[in-house]
Amino acid sequence: MLAPFGALALLLFVTAPAGAGCPKLLMFDGTNFHTQATDEQAAYWGDTVGVQGFFVNRVMASWQDDVGTRTDSKLWRQLGLFQSIYARHGMADNFIKVALYKPIDWRDADALKQVVRNFSHAAALARHAGLKGIAIDLEPYEPTWVDGDALSATVQAEASAIASAMRTAYPQMTLVVIKDALHQNYPHTPLDELVSKFGTDPGPSRHFWHGGYALAVPFLRGLLSADWAHVVIATEVTYDGADMAAPVRQTQRNYEVFMGAEQAGRSGLSVAPGLWPLGHSYTDKSARDTPPAFEEHLRSAYSAAKDYVWIYGYGSAWQTDGPYGEAPVAAGFPQYTAAIHAMRASCAASAADAQAQTPAR
């Protein structure tokens, strides 16, 4: 039943610009680098599922966690082992994922200095182990971005310090920002209005999760002010939409305005659309998308993305006996993995064809 999808994907990509490559497919969580750094596990994820990298949890889980600086420590050696094994199976694009699992006290200067140190050490670890960089998940699992204009300058300064520390430790790292905080604060604002808002105003409060995302905007302003080698905005607004071109294009334009076109150009700014096809909880791994819907969403994501597409794995939704919970995977699970392999194959074939048709210089 996947043959029509493969043909559709191939038709899509033969019109891609000459020299265009294929985005890499990443998985959010799913694996545990402590216990799954084996060829058997890597073969499952790389050969069976077909992903090409992970947002790796449990390295620096929260901002307060320090990975240290000892290259001979168990943590550093284990992450290096994970990277080397998974890269052999086609998963070289891995990122240390850091989330807000503990609250941040923006008034505690000493704690904020430690956070900067922690991000510096994590970037050094990513570089040493051969990972692509750091993925910062901005979702406030604990109250973090609550309203407070008086804290905007502090939050921006802290973000600038974090960015500088990571860039110093790993100059060529890729920074991934998970969760589009601009969209959270300005979900329906036209681009020309965003221009006037992205001066010094941190933006209106939108009371979503744990107080909203107001302070995430000055944080982004400081974080993205650094001269990054590569910045990727990983969006969640694409979870439920088959047509991802419009939100990806709008997100790209919003961040180009926010950062400034010149800064965005230097950073190679790109948008990575996210999908959430499987998993309702750690124990309920049933489908959110039917196989045909997933095929269509994946095709749309690949057509819109430049560098990366990512899947929210909801724990171990893609593995029966995974580290986040043992339970049966969704009915028809092989159809989901087959869709991934068909998409990757058709993209690679059309990219190769486009490259072959490029006139020699």
Q: Where are the beta strands (DSSP E) in the chain?
A: 24-28, 53-56, 95-98, 133-137, 174-178, 230-235, 270-275, 308-312, 321-322, 325-326
pLDDT (tens digit, 0 to 9) for every residue of the chain, 361 residues total? 344 444 444 344 433 333 358 999 999 989 999 999 999 999 999 999 999 999 999 999 999 999 999 999 999 999 999 999 999 999 999 999 999 999 999 999 999 999 999 999 999 999 999 999 999 999 999 989 986 678 999 999 999 999 999 999 999 999 999 998 888 877 777 666 766 766 544 444 444 566 678 899 999 999 999 999 999 999 999 998 878 999 999 999 999 999 999 999 999 999 999 999 999 999 999 999 999 999 999 999 999 999 999 999 999 999 999 999 899 999 999 999 999 999 999 999 988 877 777 676 5
Task: Identify the residue whose tokens are 């986040």.
Answer: 324
- Residue 149 in domain: yes
Per the structure, how many domains does the chain have? 1
Task: Choose among 199, 115, 106, 117: nearest CA to 155.
Answer: 106
- Per DSSP, 150 falls in state G
The amino acid present at 324, given as its one-letter code, is: Y
**Residue 227 three-state SS:** coil
CATH for 329: 3.20.20.80
- Residue 113 in domain: yes
Task: Choose among 133, 42, 44: nearest CA to 94.
Answer: 133
What does the radius of gyration of the chain's CA atoms come to, in whole angstroms? 20
- Residue 255 in domain: yes
Q: Rounded distance, CA 164 to CA 319, Å?
A: 38
Helix (H) / strand (E) element for 119: namely: helix 109-129
Looking at residue 18, its pLDDT comes to 31
- Residue 196 in domain: yes
Q: Rounded distance, CA 22 to CA 257, Å?
A: 26
Please, what's the largest Cα pairwise distance for the chain?
A: 59
- Residue 271 in domain: yes
Cα separation values, 251 from 231, 254, 262, 300, 313, Å? 13, 5, 17, 16, 23
User: What six digits make up the tokens of 5?
Assistant: 């999808």
- Residue 361 in domain: no
Range of the domain at 34: 3-355
Q: Rounded distance, CA 358 to CA 361, Å?
A: 9
- Residue 360 in domain: no
Yes or no: say if 294 and 302 are a contact pair by the CB < 8 Å rule. Answer: no
Looking at residue 62, its pLDDT comes to 96
Q: Rounded distance, CA 302 to CA 349, Å?
A: 14
- Residue 251 in domain: yes
Looking at residue 198, its pLDDT comes to 63
Looking at residue 356, its pLDDT comes to 78
Yes or no: say if 340 and 23 are a contact pair by the CB < 8 Å rule. Answer: no
